[in-house]
Amino acid sequence: MKQKLVLLGFGTVGQGICEILLEKKEYLKEKYNYEFDVVAVADFVYGNVYNPDGLDIPLMLEQANAKKKFTKDVVDWDNIKLIKECNADVLCELTFTDLKTGGPAVDHCRAALEFGKHVVTSNKGPTALRYQEMKALADKNGVKFLIEGTVCAGTPVINLVDGPLAGCKISKIRGILNGTTNYMLSEMEKGMGYDEVLKVAQELGYAEADPTGDVEGYDARGKVTILANIVMGAPLNINDVSCEGITKITSDDIKKAKGQNARWKLIGSVEKKEGKVTGSVAPEMIDLSHPLAGVMGATNALTFSTDLLGDVTIVGPGAGRIETGFSILTDLLKIHKES
Ligand code: HSE
């Protein structure tokens, strides 16, 4: 049966997943017997559209690319009505992250779960702030709340822990969790200025809608909170995680580190010691011989310290249109396979 999707948010990630779905349509059908229709999209810039038989996605991508409003299948329903009344069975919640309140995304996810629709999201708001509530609501309604895209874009982290690493106890997770700042630090080392490189990171779709979230470390703190809750099973609050960003790191600091055979990295970590879980985000000067020192650009890396395998490290893209779009595909396929 065709999976029917409603997308909330048609920005970087929303367009990314649509491009992937269109490009891989035949492959997904042949390899996984996966077929889809995007039946509804809501976006505060382009408008809300609904067609129970499937929207004209190529036209919508064209219109978004030209910064024009949608013109076909336009409805005057608000987001919640659209989620509840459309015939989709999965909500892809791809609106921008608000780590203070969770933003409207919390209401979007709640509405979908209450109406028996699965939720797949890259939005860190509902996940970092309300994971327990969302998971309980999903369980109650016999649907899934899947969040691979909230940590390290499509690089498998949540699914790695749930799948291949199941059975291992994880005592510590440490690594580079924010693509924007890692990209900025890498480019600053090559001589680019802070403001200039931040602008490029925004253009490349790495940075949050408000990039303060990246440079002050709040985005990485949200991810540390997600890992603490989901991987460690600890109900850690976002405010329990100590947080310092990269705003105080100057070009001089970067040069000095180079002189000492080292490199600045923004490091997020979660640790379980004597039953207590703690989390932190802070810049660290890492010796060049350390594996994390070689992780450059928008790449993320996470080392899981486990009881059965010792350290397991995963390195991969941490941000970007297609890279985060892929995280949505991976969770959509998971729903398809397990339905
Ligand atoms: N702004 C985030 C980053 C996007 O740079 O890592 C992915 O969560």
Alpha-carbon distance of 168 to 259, in angstroms, equals: 40
Q: Is 214 in the pocket of ligand 1 (CB under 6 A)?
A: yes
Q: Within the chain, how many helices (H) and strands (E) appear?
A: 13, 12
Q: How much distance in Å is there from the Cα of 103 to the middle of ligand 1?
A: 17
Active site residues: 223
Give, for ligand 1, the residue of 94, 204, 214, 295 to mutate: max count of ligand atoms closer than 8 Å to Cβ: 214
Give me the tens of pLDDT residue by residue for the chain, a chain 339 residues long: 899 999 999 999 999 999 999 999 999 999 999 999 999 999 999 999 999 999 999 999 999 999 999 999 999 999 999 999 999 999 999 999 999 999 999 999 999 999 999 999 999 999 999 999 999 999 999 999 999 999 999 999 999 999 999 999 999 999 999 999 999 999 999 999 999 999 999 999 999 989 999 999 999 999 999 999 999 999 899 999 999 999 999 999 999 999 999 999 999 999 999 999 999 999 999 999 999 999 999 999 999 999 999 999 999 999 999 999 999 999 999 999 998
For residues 184 and 305, membership in a common domain is answered with yes
Residue closest via CA to ligand 1's atom 7 equals 319
Domain hosting residue 61, numbered range: 3-154+321-338
**Residues 140 and 185 both lie in one domain:** no
Whether the CB-CB separation of 94 and 14 falls below 8 Å is answered with yes
Q: Strand 170-176 relative to strand 118-121: parallel, antiparallel, unpaired?
A: unpaired
Same domain, 175 and 134: no
**β-pairing verdict for 299-306 and 170-176:** antiparallel
- For residue 24, the domain's CATH number is 3.40.50.720
Please report, for the domain that includes residue 287, its CATH number. 3.30.360.10
Cα–Cα dist 306/152, whole Å: 19
Dump strand ranges (E) for 167-275. 170-176, 242-243, 262-273
Do residues 310 and 176 share a domain? yes
Q: Which atom of ligand 1 is nearest to the CA of 182?
A: 5
- Does ligand 1 come within 6 angstroms of the Cβ of 178? yes
Q: Within this chain, do residues 52 and 143 fall inside the same structural domain, yes or no? A: yes
Residues, the chain, total?
339
Which of 122, 150, 180, 246 has most ligand 1 atoms within 8 Å of CB, for mutation?
180
Dist. CA 105–CA 113, nearest whole Å: 12
